[in-house]
Chains A and B, each alone.
Chain A
Amino acid sequence: MAYRTAFLRRTALAGLFGLVTLAASAQEAPKPLPPGSPLIGRPESEEAAKLAPVSAPPLPTAADKLPTAKLKVPPGFSVEVYAAGVGNARSLREGAKGTVFVGSRLLDKVYAITPNDHKVKVIASGLHRPNGVAFHDGTLYIAELSQISKIDNIEDTLDNPAKPTVIYSDLPKDEAHGWKFISIGPDNRLYVPIGQPGNNVARDPQHAQIRRINLDGSGAETVAIGVRNTVGFDWNPNTKELYFTDNGRDWMSEDVPEDKLNRLTKFGEDFGVPYCYQGNISDPDFGWGHSCSDYTPPVALMGAHTAALGMRFYTGSMFPAEYKDAIFVARHGSWNRSKKLGGDVVVVKLNKDGSVKSVTPFLTGFIADNNYLGRPVDVQPLKDGSLLVSDDWNGAVYRVTYKGKAK
């Protein structure tokens, strides 16, 4: 509990300074860390000081240097490179004609991978953190940090695409958790998350939520609140309920809170952040006066600091029956933990009532000697039933197929 001590020490110092600084100069008073800093809540320990988020390199790894041979999948499955040279590959989306669209977060580009020869084309650039991509009726939707835009008829214009047209920009501009995953629901509305603008900060009406808008940008409404930072969601093909991952706060401890898989069962539901984490931990700073029982608990815990990001229900027919309507979740892997955790794709199997039956590893091997060989960000089942996985560390997209058990 070193960070509590540090906090008390700072507070005590502030008290001592108070008399002096009020008389002299107010700007001398110790100030809290900025709201967006990833260091908020960092304890004063040497081991903790070694941990910091590390950004992926800008240049993609050459195809023959990718860690594909080290990746592991269950018996009968195999994994191959679908496309290399997709710098900082993030969110994935398949177009109606088989084009795969890929967003990026650290670069300014959105890519298209052509269906037959898997050629990588930059279809938009000069964008600010274009992490999210969605596709509907021939139109590509792109989510930058603080605006949503679209390119109509994209698959017929890959060699000369129009510039994206902005449809919605009533969004905060915070860098922290400002990048967005987007998706279009069964209600034909575009779902847009707005993360908390920092590790663990007070709730305000503009953040910690998922909104939906009409496809022309009109009719914005908030469908879920108390969401810290979701970077992946999809709808249960049977119940049509929205399931979404949410990343827990940093610096509470090595082992809690865990990231969550949530399920939205009613409009406007509250998932607890920043008062309650992982459904049963009252936050040491913001939890006072609140009870975890007032918020919707997760349907599954996804591991401490694992960064559960992109997810899709699997409705294809290539994989064995046990994967039917299961959820694949990409876990980007932890930074706020001494021993790395996550950095894989897990499969979440559900019961008939939509509750979670099991969470098991599916694609692993991205961590060696506590270092990342790659970091999965999103998954996308293709029409043929195979599963794509993006890796922003290497700027690559892998494809998992099932050919049955060897006899």
Chain B
Amino acid sequence: MRTLLLAGLAASAFAGAALAATPEKAEQCPACHGENGQSQTENIPSLGAQQPAYVLIQLYMFREKMRTSEAMNGIAKDLTDDDLHSLSDFIGTLPKPKPPADAGDPARMAAAKALVDKEHCNSCHSADFSGRDNIPRIADQREDYLVQTLRDYKSNKRAGYDGTMAEVLGPISDAQIVELAYYMAHFTK
């Protein structure tokens, strides 16, 4: 209910943001995910410039209850396959999220970068962490969301589409998860 009410208030939040016409069903997104692709809400991801193939998979998984989120399971319940395509294509056109004003502690960033390099995060997520195909953009994603997501992948609370992240995170400690998230959230190219 809350989502629907907010959706009304935020109906035109995307106006002027994207070149493509806003699909009607995308009008409810900014209520939680923020305007212009940038989330201001705790633990809710920014959607800007997210990879369409990744978004489509997530919307599909929400619809089929393969990924659990009370709000998103409800919203995705009645989406058609065409809706999944138009929403994910549209989200891909939103501007990418901006890095936070604070550039991050240089020593902490350097240490985290060594970890990122060693774990080859760039191998799938691309050198600028903008993702590719079904692999998501993680650059400048919300730090709290990244920490939660990595923890959920590691514990398999969130079963990934193809299981890669559960495997990759096996030997990564929680302290390292916090540093990986810090680095990605503060990433500047």
A 328-362 binary contact with B (CB < 8 Å = 1; else 0)? 00000000000000000000000000000000000
| Partner of B84 from A52, A53, A59, A126 at Cβ < 8 Å | A59
13 contacts between A and B (CB under 8 A): A34-B169, A36-B166, A36-B168, A37-B167, A39-B168, A49-B122, A53-B162, A106-B161, A107-B64, A108-B66, A129-B163, A178-B163, A198-B167
A 24-61 binary contact with B (CB < 8 Å = 1; else 0)? 00010011011111110010000001001111011100
B164 interface residue (CB < 8 Å to A): yes
| Partner of B120 from A33, A55, A106, A197 at Cβ < 8 Å | A33
Contact A34–B170 (Cβ < 8 Å):
yes
Contact A49–B123 (Cβ < 8 Å):
yes
Task: Give chain B nearest CB distance to A231 CB in angstroms.
Answer: 15
| Partner of A175 from B118, B166, B173 at Cβ < 8 Å | B166
| Partner of A106 from B56, B84, B122, B162 at Cβ < 8 Å | B162
How far does the alpha carbon of A107 sit from the alpha carbon of B172 in the complex, in Å?
A: 27
A241 interface residue (CB < 8 Å to B): no
A 105-138 binary contact with B (CB < 8 Å = 1; else 0)? 0111000000000000000011011000000000
- With A55-B134, A107-B64, A175-B164 as contacts: A42 and B170 at CB distance below 8 Å: no
List residues of chain B with CB within 8 A of the CB of A52.
Answer: 123-124, 135
B133 interface residue (CB < 8 Å to A): yes
How far does the alpha carbon of A57 sit from the alpha carbon of B122 in the complex, in Å?
A: 22
| Partner of B164 from A27, A53, A107, A128 at Cβ < 8 Å | A53
B 121-135 binary contact with A (CB < 8 Å = 1; else 0)? 011100100000111
Q: A42-B120, A58-B161, A59-B85 are in contact. List 12 more A-B contacts (CB 8 A).
A: A33-B120, A34-B169, A34-B172, A37-B120, A39-B120, A54-B133, A57-B53, A59-B81, A108-B64, A108-B66, A126-B65, A175-B163
List residues of chain B with CB within 8 A of the CB of A175.
Answer: 160, 163-164, 166-167
B159 interface residue (CB < 8 Å to A): yes
How far does the alpha carbon of A52 sit from the alpha carbon of B122 in the complex, in Å?
A: 11
A152 interface residue (CB < 8 Å to B): no
A174 interface residue (CB < 8 Å to B): yes
**In the complex, residue of chain B having the shortest beta-carbon distance to the beta carbon of A37:** B168
Contact B57–A58 (Cβ < 8 Å):
yes
**In the complex, residue of chain A having the shortest beta-carbon distance to the beta carbon of B165:** A175
How far does the alpha carbon of A325 sit from the alpha carbon of B157 in the complex, in Å?
A: 46
Q: Which A residues, 68 to 121, have Cβ-Cβ distances below 8 Å to chain B?
A: 106-108
B106 interface residue (CB < 8 Å to A): no
B61 interface residue (CB < 8 Å to A): yes
How far does the alpha carbon of A36 sit from the alpha carbon of B154 in the complex, in Å?
A: 12
How far does the alpha carbon of A35 sit from the alpha carbon of B167 in the complex, in Å?
A: 8
B175 interface residue (CB < 8 Å to A): yes
Contact A42–B123 (Cβ < 8 Å):
yes
Contact A31–B171 (Cβ < 8 Å):
yes
How far does the alpha carbon of A27 sit from the alpha carbon of B171 in the complex, in Å?
A: 11
List residues of chain A with CB within 8 A of the CB of B159.
Answer: 128
B 105-149 binary contact with A (CB < 8 Å = 1; else 0)? 000000000000011101110010000011100000000000000
Q: How many A residues face the partner with a CB closer than 8 A?
A: 32
The secondary-structure label for the interface of chain A is loop
Q: Choose among A54, A58, A197 the residue with the greatest number of B CB atoms under 10 Å from its CB.
A: A58
A176 interface residue (CB < 8 Å to B): yes
Task: Give chain A nearest CB distance to B170 CB in angstroms.
Answer: 4
**In the complex, residue of chain A having the shortest beta-carbon distance to the beta carbon of B53:** A57
How far does the alpha carbon of A58 sit from the alpha carbon of B161 in the complex, in Å?
A: 9
Q: Which B residues, 55 to 114, have Cβ-Cβ distances below 8 Å to chain A?
A: 56-57, 60-61, 64-66, 81, 84-85
List residues of chain B with CB within 8 A of the CB of A178.
Answer: 163
| Partner of A58 from B61, B119, B122, B123 at Cβ < 8 Å | B61
How far does the alpha carbon of A27 sit from the alpha carbon of B174 in the complex, in Å?
A: 11
A 163-200 binary contact with B (CB < 8 Å = 1; else 0)? 00000000000111010000000000000000001100
List residues of chain B with CB within 8 A of the CB of A197.
Answer: 167
**In the complex, residue of chain B having the shortest beta-carbon distance to the beta carbon of A50:** B123
List residues of chain B with CB within 8 A of the CB of A126.
Answer: 65
List residues of chain B with CB within 8 A of the CB of A54.
Answer: 133-134
Contact B167–A36 (Cβ < 8 Å):
yes
Q: Choose among A106, A107, A174 the residue with the greatest number of B CB atoms under 10 Å from its CB.
A: A106
- With A58-B57, A59-B56, A59-B84 as contacts: A34 and B167 at CB distance below 8 Å: yes
How far does the alpha carbon of A49 sit from the alpha carbon of B122 in the complex, in Å?
A: 8
Task: Give chain B nearest CB distance to A176 CB in angstroms.
Answer: 5
How far does the alpha carbon of A241 sit from the alpha carbon of B161 in the complex, in Å?
A: 36
Task: Give chain B nearest CB distance to A7 CB in angstroms.
Answer: 12
Q: Which A residues, 176 to 231, have Cβ-Cβ distances below 8 Å to chain B?
A: 176, 178, 197-198
**In the complex, residue of chain A having the shortest beta-carbon distance to the beta carbon of B173:** A27
Contact A55–B124 (Cβ < 8 Å):
no
The 4 closest A-B pairs by CB, nearest first: A175-B163, A36-B167, A58-B60, A34-B170
Task: Give chain A nearest CB distance to B161 CB in angstroms.
Answer: 6
Task: Give chain A nearest CB distance to B95 CB in angstroms.
Answer: 25
Task: Give chain A nearest CB distance to B115 CB in angstroms.
Answer: 9
- With A49-B123, A52-B135, A175-B163 as contacts: A34 and B60 at CB distance below 8 Å: no
List residues of chain B with CB within 8 A of the CB of A39.
Answer: 120, 123, 168
| Partner of A34 from B53, B127, B163, B171 at Cβ < 8 Å | B171
Contact B56–A58 (Cβ < 8 Å):
yes
How far does the alpha carbon of A259 sit from the alpha carbon of B64 in the complex, in Å?
A: 35
